[in-house]
Structure 1
Amino acid sequence: MISSRPELSWLEDPGVYEVNRRKAHSDHVFPFFKEAKAEGINVLNLDGTWKFVWDEKPPEYGLRGLSDETGERFFQAAFWEKDWKEIQVPGHVQLQGYDSCHYVNTMYPWDGHSELRPPSVPWEDNPAGSYIREFTIGDDEAFLKDRVFVSFQGVETAFYVWCNQRFVGYGEDGFTPSEYELTGMLHRGVNRLEVRVYKRSSASWIEDQDFFRFTGIFRSVFVYCVPPVHLEDIFVKADLTEDGRDGRLEAELTVESQNGGCYEADLELEDNGQMVLARTEKGQGERNVIVFTGRIPEVKPWSSETPFRYLLRITLRDEKGREEIITQYIGFRRFEIKGGLMCINGRPIAFHGINRHEFDWHRGRAVTEEDMVSDILFLKRHNINAVRTCHYPNQSLWYEFCDRYGIYLMDEANLESHGSWQKMGACEPSWNVPGSLPQWRDCTIDRARSMMERDKNHPSVLIWSCGNESYAGEDIREMGRLFKKRDPGRLVHYEGVFWNREFEDISDMESQMYTPPEKVREFLEHGNGKPFIMCEYMHAMGNSLGGMDRYMELEYKYPAYQGGFVWDMIDQAIAVKKSDGKEYPAYGGDFGDRPTDWQFCGNGILYADRQISPKAAEVKAQYAFVRPRICLEERMVEIENRQIFSDLSGYEFVLKILRDGEDWREFSFEAAACAGETDRQSFETIGLEKDWKPKDGKEYVLKISVRLASDTLWAEKGYETAFCEAVIPGRPEKSKSNFGEPVTLIHGDVNLGARTGQMELMFSYQDGGMVSLKQKGRQWLLRPPMPVYWRASTDNDRGNGFAEESRIWLSKTWFPDLSRGKVKITEEEGEARFSFDMEDAAVGYCVRRDGRLGVNVTFHGKKGYPGLPVFGLGFELPKEADRFFWYGRGPWENYPDRKAGTGLGIYESTPLEQLSRYLKPQECGMHMDTRWLTLQTVQGEWIRFEAEEAPFHFSVLPCSIQELENARHREELPESFRTCVLIAGAVRGVGGNDSWGAPVYPEYEIPGDRDITFSFTVSAGIA
């Protein structure tokens, strides 16, 4: 204990990171676990409404440098003469009407406001919040006679605690519990807990994570009392024997006895109610460590695929017969480096992982149990088997769910000092903290210890991470040494050694961020003897995640490549109400916060409200562990089982055949393959006729669907985990030239009219294109269709410089080169052709006798032209065309480099549904490989676009490219007065290796020096 009175100077002293805090221990007393419990430990949950006051300029700052023997002046300044209001705990100050939200990535939030160097605090911008919670102690003698503690599960960023006006303690590191003893401070009746929370402290220099900078008590608070003989800590080591057949249990129990008397400890281990191990030991003394050991034959190992757990029950009994009973679930598993590879239960592991911030758009990091269950179900349903807790330990309950459902965890310490060593992307560690600075060492190591001691009994935790993006140095090296000494059954991770190879011994694995796949391949081919992971990759900002398959190919080819963690899971955005009461997601800069990194907080494959974004489908497809393939030439189906332990008995398989997009035939079949093997079956085995071959000219799509064979914790029977498809092209009949009535032309001075069937068309010499397309009185065109070269720039387009490099196509789209008076007209066999030639493109129309309009669009490539974002023909249709159907890829939007999660079929949607909810509006809603597209009004009027020589691509949106480009938020888009349709012959990929420089792969670019031609037909009618 440093002091018995509070000192304001602690806020600027990295050597003072806790005062009177209880030693870190396992989370077995956490009162909210539903599958485990602690009998004999009494708990008062203090979550709910607290009294609160917010001081922008705390009066105690005038007392700096002054003190008194009791700390009374500090307490008076913080708690007396206040205008008390109310606040909810758990919760952030900034989300409950106080202060303002501030998002920043690597910069420190005071950059540009205060000239500071560590460990100084910006006192002019260091507000504080005072909390008071009253609670009543009734007739429960335990709270008055036994040992009592208050537990704060999470507080940002530094806080002082009093109870009944007596100073209790001080704490930092808000992402692990801070517990303080209240024994002897409580009395019967009303008691009062007082907490003073400061926005900034020296700890802020090593909490520079890429997130909103919040303040307050954001996790649960509870008071608990323990019996005279109490289990202070449990360390369960549930390992496997070398052959993996048996389990080895070592349970290290730390027992506290208030009177130092004798006690008895019983340990029981159950498998679904059946006892498999029972031990009893006796002990004596105020503090004692008891170690139980045992061997469990034919143990059921824990893994992500089969997260089997045993029930552990520990009973402590003192001389008077008073008991404390702890029950919790444990899993037997072995994690190690074997033959240069990370192995789980003896077999090489592949992390199909993601980075997960704790976040909710209403509650910030104060996430609920419902949020966590939702996240777990999402992970399992999308083939994600691992999470990195970026960049701090999560709530204890999260680890319980990961144990139960089977999610591998990289548990990361609350450490990041990004802004102290990297500025604007350049490595400049001249004043890096913690580095090798002695004054920062203890607080740095304490963060590692606090996380490890709390989480060490969770089988889901495979890797301890020393933090994120803090360069390297002796202080972090000591973190690694602590992990390895205390818990040799887990591995240690730290990516920061990439920047300083002098400290390579810190990390057991080579870990990199955003390295392009080709550079990863080069590294793997030379190697450094360590297994390799990408702790961050596929930066999913905005419309992104293109090219993920390149990384998955590495997993197939190089055993040392053991997967990675996508950045990241959920958009960090705050729900803000508009004047009409509707909520929208606000991001950096929307709160007047400066400095800021704007929408850089929007990297999730979930939107901020936890709705699934289109990007998630690609992750699900790329991460699939059971991977079907169709070999048309060999008339074979292959089911590759890339699971580590499980065979295919947990799945059922369906071969569905579509004919011109419609369901035609379906066959269910079984497959059998052990882990790592492939099942091969002929079409005939599945049920198709031996000589089956389409002969009707229709297009056939064969689709294999992998589905759950029975209900699981995370999805019901029949849930599709993966699919594949193969196409047998059709041979559509071409319309005969003599079919229908000849086309009628009406020549004018400015316009040329044409009629075919019931379709009336008009072409304008003045406007350089088609200005009218009417069918039974419905005018379908609001503006002449014009070539489109530009799409609304994505975050990646702007980040890698493509938007700037290709901006010529923006002007050519917005200000088209019209072919006024240049129309070419030819008539042949009763049909009429019109060609509008422009500088960079030509649009040809053929008015056909069958009542359809043929359209041919050509781009004239030229040497020196930059690459194009897109090339197509844009149509502005009436707003009433507000529902559409298509035969192509769906239902999610998709792009050339992001379409593995979408399949061919017939789908329907609306323009508004296609407007993806990226934080900043950008290109969205594209669908590749489309055979036909039909838009329809509620009256049944329809217009149809149908591919001719090859499938086209399309988007249907309620707004224009210009409106998307100009808007900073989706809610800024104007009310829709039209439906904007783009029929495209070429679409650039979206990319996604990173969002600040990584280009799109060459095969997904559209070179500006090559010609592009595509064609389709247009028809219209009424149902």
Structure 2
Amino acid sequence: MTLDTIDIQTESYGDEAVRFDAARIADPRFVQENRLPAHSDHRWFRTAAEAADGDSGYEQSLSGRWKIHYAKNPAAAPAGFFHPDYDCESWDDIPVPAHIQLHGYDRPQYVNVQYPWDGVEQIDPGEVPERYNPVASYVKSFRLDRPVEAGETVSISFLGAESAIAVWLNGRYLGYATDSFTPSEFDVTDALVEGENKLAAQVFKFSSGSWLEDQDFFRFSGLFRDVVLYRRPRAHVEDLRVDVVLAHDAASADIALRIDLRGEGSAAARLAGVGPLEPRGDGGFSIRLDNPRLWSPEDPWLYEIEIEVRDVSGEVAEVIVQRVGVRRFAIEDGLLKLNGRRVVFFGVNRHEFGLAGRVQTAAEIEADLLALKAVGVNAVRTSHYPNSTVFYELADRHGLMVIDEMNLESHGVWDRIRKLGAPIEDAVPGDRPEWLPTLLDRAASMYERDKNHPSIVMWSCGNESFGGTNLRDVAAWFREVDSRPVHYEGVHWDPRHEETTDVVSQMYTPAAEVEEFLRDRRDKPFILCEYAHAMGNSFGAVDEYIELAYREPLFQGGFIWDFADQAIALTDRYGKEYFGYGGDFGDAPNDGEFCGNGIFFTDHSPTPKLQEVAYLYQGLRIRIDDAGFTVHNRLLSTSSAAYRCVVTLSREGRMLRREEAETDIAAGDTGRIALPIAVPTAPGEYAIDVSFRLRAATAWAAEGHEVAYEQRVVQVGPPPARVAAPAPELIRGAHNIGVRGPGFSALFSTLYGGLTSYRFGMTSDGGRELLTGMPRPHFWHAPTSNERGWEAPFEDGQWLLASRYGRVREPLTRTRVEQDDTAVTVTYEYELPTRPATTCDVSYRVDGAGRVEVTQTLHLVDGLPSLPEFGMLLTTLPEFRRLRWYGDGPEECYVDRRGGARLGVYDRDVTTELTPYLRPQEAGSRTGVRWAEVTDGRGAGLRVESADAMEFSALPWTPDEVENALHHTELPPIHRTVLRPALMRRGVGGDDSWGARTLAQYRLPNSGDLVFDFAFRGV
């Protein structure tokens, strides 16, 4: 299938006809036409003062308002629109940069593995859809900010155009380019005119290159990065390269500068604060630097090379300031090392994505990187395309190691081979020669632009595109031009050319399997380029990976998937704002909320998962015992003395004492420090916290910011004995059992089977009713994204039935009522609709003070599925919205994600307790809860207690209501506060979101009797 040729023919300029053949966008070999060669991303200035200000007189922004015409396909695009006489004034306006899909044209579409045209049009690899291939025709009129000087040349660079672009200036065809994520730059010198210039561009959503752009992201198109006009003076550095060779002992470094000087002139260079670089015979420059300050994530020191270019008359033509990081990253002794020290990647994958899609300002990108630095992240993988240049500049400045990944993913084709049994020959790019030119072009465009950034420690050939000779050749090309290691994960699936990658890279391999792999395979360092799939309420048991990284030298960490949820702000029919995901835009095919994998939300605010990230990624590992604490310094170059060490002692959330300890544990070492605080002998539960904090503010955090912490809980003596209250009054009715005491009453139904009333308080009507429904044993929660991924609802669905439809067996005759000197106990036996059938006993022991002790006993039998949770569901008044608890916090936590939580007393508003994951799901629970209260504005309400510490949740909705909502705006109005004390909830898991179950140690037992004790009372 081919596109019809669109014949765009107007008058000629000189000997050159103005013609662009749109049919060629379906040719994989048609990579570019007349595009300028890729070059380093350095900037050049007219004067040193300009360089200091960062505002170059050689740059003119062409971003801003453009005219746009939208067509559904190339055949409907306007012919000749680029001609100077073609009137475009009636066209709409659109900002540049922007995605057209976020400005009223086409539609956003989220797909992961599927190609966006799959099942819509029958096309083969390399071909493009005919009926649906949106085309945006852009027009911008501009005037030069000053006349072109003699000897100057002028270019226009489109820094990001998705997925292919054709360009004209004043009716003259300039050229064509593919590769959405690197610059497409064209010489416009001869096409410029005095006065108004008409710049025209046609951007195709799908081209042959789109087969290589099947990343897990929203499918957009248009001019989504800036458009810049550049002037090149008569003597100009077109390209520069900085090479740094650090001596093995780091006592010196040789810095070499190579420049491509165009025009007649000369250049000189100096290292700021050090001295001039010496000219070399090959036209380059070099300098030896003694005792250099090394670049690292902890100390991202940058030197500056100042380059001055003079023209043939001796006048300064341009000034360049090139930042240089002195560091060595290489595989040494079989390990990935930075400056001779073994590296563990505390990494994150990051899409370029924010509230405007892949359009981000420098300030937004910087905020992202600072937020990552603040939680201990030291590395970023640019999944799965080159980012905008400012990202690398900021990574250099703030200290993040980067795996720079070229724009390649053909997952949809790879799936045909891996899952549908297609032959290897079908792979794209595979071994097909027609795909090699575009791969090498994309590799070169990324490398040439980014090569001088010290933050980049590895080049990546792309993502999830199987294997083959083409990728092998791309990797070989990287090694020809650079010394940095080459990464590619697809060799794991197609091992025919293992030389493609310098590291063993896998995705989502469980920690135990990584360890097993490394027992036999020890020829390369091992990383997980993606792990801990943080979809929805996830990120469980990630500590297994971190512990392995410090137990097994060859395992050198990984990169969380991923940084932030990808979603788009929408407003529903009732005016409520929410974030939309796949399927919310009329897009088909789509992959639903699979775009919600972030440790940050769509607006880049932190999710509760970040509490665990910060704990696991901390550079100081602390262990506290009775006499002191041990610190393992996992940092690369920083002593623990760089931080204040604060030790506190608390009892039930109240600080008793605070001291500081002096430490000086070198990077890589382990040291022990005596506790400056003694635990009292008075009975009680005490918490010792050791916290390392910044001594001074940094770019990424304020003074006092916590960089590492640990807590130890100590129980001294037995808990205080409870004072027995006088026995309550027992009232036996025909259908109800009443229990009454001073200030309370409880009513148990023998007709319906359960506690139907609990009133508390000294009022004339017998107290305030605190229950809005009958408490019932509960075994279910709204499935998390991970649980849906391994089809837990299908397996566990009978526990939903048991929670909803369990019944009390013959309540009128089999309700047991017992009375002793201090309490009345009422017991029910629930029959549960499970296969095989089972029962759950619930007893309520009510004392004379109104305290209700609940004991649930679930009798598990062989053959029952795994329990999502085991506890009780109670509903109370909606005005009880102030939640206060003594337990783990402050953020939600689960049995496999509680390392970052600390025991304390915390306050929250119940109405905000359902974490706003893209799709509503189980959220907001806490582990280790000793007591929790929900109260109104006057402090009246309900208190739940557990001597053994429970899991506890207080939400405005039932699990059923949460599960039924596809977005948070679909949750019903609040009518109650829902309390769910539990013995345990199943851990959230986190190896992946499409089949990986919660690890066995974080699941409830599936045999024997489960017993859960807790109590509640009015307050």
Same fold (TM > 0.5): yes
**Pairing partner for 1:734 from 718, 721, 746:** 721
Q: 1:703 to 1:78 in 2, by over 3 A?
A: farther
Contact in 2 for aligned 1:421/1:430 (Cα 8 Å): no
Q: Does 1:94 align with 2:108?
A: no
Q: Does 1:310 align with 2:294?
A: no
- CA distance, structure 2, for counterparts of residue 254 and residue 997 of structure 1: 52
Partner of 1:825: 817
- CA distance, structure 1, for counterparts of residue 31 and residue 694 of structure 2: 50
SS state at 1:5 partner = coil
Letter in 2 for 1:670: E
SS state at 2:547 partner = helix
Q: 1:446 to 1:58 in 2, by over 3 A?
A: closer
Q: Tell me the alpha carbon deviations over residues 270-297 of structure 1, each in whole angstroms, 9 at most, x when there is no partner.
A: 2xxx234443579xxxxxx721111100
- CA distance, structure 2, for counterparts of residue 332 and residue 552 of structure 1: 28
Contact in 2 for aligned 1:264/1:280 (Cα 8 Å): no
- CA distance, structure 1, for counterparts of residue 901 and residue 460 of structure 2: 35
Letter in 2 for 1:755: R
Q: Tell me the alpha carbon deviations over residues 737-759 of structure 1, each in whole angstroms, 9 at most, x when there is no partner.
A: 3x3x3301222111111112211
Letter in 2 for 1:834: V
Partner of 1:892: 891
- CA distance, structure 2, for counterparts of residue 212 and residue 657 of structure 1: 49
- Describe how 1:126-137 pairs up with structure 2 within 5 A: 126-137=133-144
Partner of 1:931: 930
Partner of 2:597: 603
Percent identity, aligned pairs only, is 39
Partner of 1:121: 128
Measure how far apart 1:36 and its partner are.
6.9
**Pairing partner for 1:26 from 18, 33, 40:** 40
**Is the deviation greater in 977-986 or in 829-838?**
829-838
**Pairing partner for 1:243 from 221, 237, 249:** 249
Q: Tell me the alpha carbon deviations over residues 439-490 of structure 1, each in whole angstroms, 9 at most, x when there is no partner.
A: 11111110000000000010000000000011111211121111111112x1
Partner of 2:865: 866
Q: Tell me the alpha carbon deviations over residues 784-807 of structure 1, each in whole angstroms, 9 at most, x when there is no partner.
A: 110000111111111113221111
SS state at 1:505 partner = helix
SS state at 1:838 partner = strand
Letter in 2 for 1:675: A
Contact in 2 for aligned 1:756/1:847 (Cα 8 Å): no
- CA distance, structure 2, for counterparts of residue 797 and residue 774 of structure 1: 38
Measure how far apart 1:140 and its partner are.
3.1
Partner of 1:67: none
Contact in 1 for aligned 2:304/2:321 (Cα 8 Å): yes
SS state at 2:458 partner = strand
Contact in 2 for aligned 1:79/1:130 (Cα 8 Å): no
Partner of 1:552: 546
Partner of 2:204: 198
Letter in 1 for 2:997: P
- CA distance, structure 2, for counterparts of residue 319 and residue 39 of structure 1: 25
Contact in 2 for aligned 1:701/1:728 (Cα 8 Å): yes
Letter in 2 for 1:756: G
Letter in 2 for 1:410: I
Measure how far apart 1:111 and its partner are.
0.7
- CA distance, structure 2, for counterparts of residue 469 and residue 607 of structure 1: 25
Q: Does 1:703 align with 2:689?
A: yes
Partner of 1:665: 657
Contact in 2 for aligned 1:872/1:983 (Cα 8 Å): yes
Partner of 2:8: none
Q: Does 1:369 align with 2:370?
A: no
Partner of 1:748: 733
Contact in 1 for aligned 2:18/2:171 (Cα 8 Å): no
**Pairing partner for 2:466 from 456, 467, 471:** 471
Q: Tell me the alpha carbon deviations over residues 171-226 of structure 1, each in whole angstroms, 9 at most, x when there is no partner.
A: 11010011100112212211111011111110111111110010000000010111
**Is the deviation greater in 514-523 or in 1011-1020?**
1011-1020
Q: Tell me the alpha carbon deviations over residues 470-526 of structure 1, each in whole angstroms, 9 at most, x when there is no partner.
A: 1111211121111111112x1100001111111110101000011111111111111
- CA distance, structure 1, for counterparts of residue 997 and residue 449 of structure 2: 42
- CA distance, structure 2, for counterparts of residue 596 and residue 723 of structure 1: 42
**Pairing partner for 2:271 from 262, 269, 272:** 269
- CA distance, structure 1, for counterparts of residue 875 and residue 633 of structure 2: 48
TM-score, with structure 2 as normaliser: 0.94
Partner of 2:963: 965
- Describe how 1:542-581 pairs up with structure 2 within 5 A: 542-581=536-575
Q: 1:617 to 1:814 in 2, by over 3 A?
A: same
Measure how far apart 1:310 and its partner are.
0.5
Instruction: Give ranges in structure 1 of 5+ residues lacking alignment.
Output: 63-71, 283-288
Partner of 1:521: 515
Q: 1:427 to 1:409 in 2, by over 3 A?
A: farther
Contact in 2 for aligned 1:276/1:296 (Cα 8 Å): no
- Describe how 1:191-230 pairs up with structure 2 within 5 A: 191-230=197-236
- CA distance, structure 2, for counterparts of residue 834 and residue 318 of structure 1: 97
Partner of 1:655: 647
**Is the deviation greater in 17-26 or in 932-941?**
932-941
Measure how far apart 1:890 and its partner are.
0.6
Partner of 1:624: 618
- Describe how 1:316-715 pairs up with structure 2 within 5 A: 316-323=309-316, 324-361=318-355, 363-423=356-416, 425=419, 428=422, 429-488=424-483, 490-632=484-626, 635-683=627-675, 686=676, 688=677, 692-715=678-701
Measure how far apart 1:41 and its partner are.
5.3
Measure how far apart 1:427 and its partner are.
6.3
Q: Tell me the alpha carbon deviations over residues 118-169 of structure 1, each in whole angstroms, 9 at most, x when there is no partner.
A: 1111111112111111111254343x76100001100001111001111111
Partner of 1:50: 66
Q: Tell me the alpha carbon deviations over residues 760-801 of structure 1, each in whole angstroms, 9 at most, x when there is no partner.
A: 111111221111111123211011110000111111111113
- CA distance, structure 1, for counterparts of residue 289 and residue 144 of structure 2: 45
Q: 1:82 to 1:594 in 2, by over 3 A?
A: farther
Q: 1:772 to 1:40 in 2, by over 3 A?
A: closer
Contact in 2 for aligned 1:37/1:328 (Cα 8 Å): no
For the aligned residue pairs, the C-alpha RMSD in angstroms reads 2.2
- Describe how 1:979-990 pairs up with structure 2 within 5 A: 979-990=977-988
Letter in 2 for 1:326: I
Q: Does 1:814 align with 2:821?
A: no
Measure how far apart 1:555 and its partner are.
0.6
Q: 1:367 to 1:73 in 2, by over 3 A?
A: closer
Partner of 1:17: 31
**Pairing partner for 2:168 from 162, 182, 198:** 162
**Is the deviation greater in 793-802 or in 380-389?**
793-802
Partner of 1:793: 783
Letter in 2 for 1:646: T
Partner of 1:760: 745
- CA distance, structure 2, for counterparts of residue 200 and residue 141 of structure 1: 36
Contact in 2 for aligned 1:137/1:187 (Cα 8 Å): no
- CA distance, structure 2, for counterparts of residue 845 and residue 696 of structure 1: 33
Q: Tell me the alpha carbon deviations over residues 631-680 of structure 1, each in whole angstroms, 9 at most, x when there is no partner.
A: 12xx1211211111111122111111111232111111111111111221
Letter in 2 for 1:982: R
Q: 1:238 to 1:17 in 2, by over 3 A?
A: same
Q: Tell me the alpha carbon deviations over residues 68-126 of structure 1, each in whole angstroms, 9 at most, x when there is no partner.
A: xxxx8685799667840100100000001111010111111111111111111111111
- CA distance, structure 1, for counterparts of residue 110 and residue 50 of structure 2: 35
- CA distance, structure 2, for counterparts of residue 481 and residue 78 of structure 1: 49
Q: 1:135 to 1:576 in 2, by over 3 A?
A: same
- CA distance, structure 2, for counterparts of residue 909 and residue 60 of structure 1: 56
**Is the deviation greater in 852-861 or in 345-354?**
852-861
SS state at 1:189 partner = coil
Contact in 2 for aligned 1:157/1:215 (Cα 8 Å): yes
Q: 1:797 to 1:401 in 2, by over 3 A?
A: same
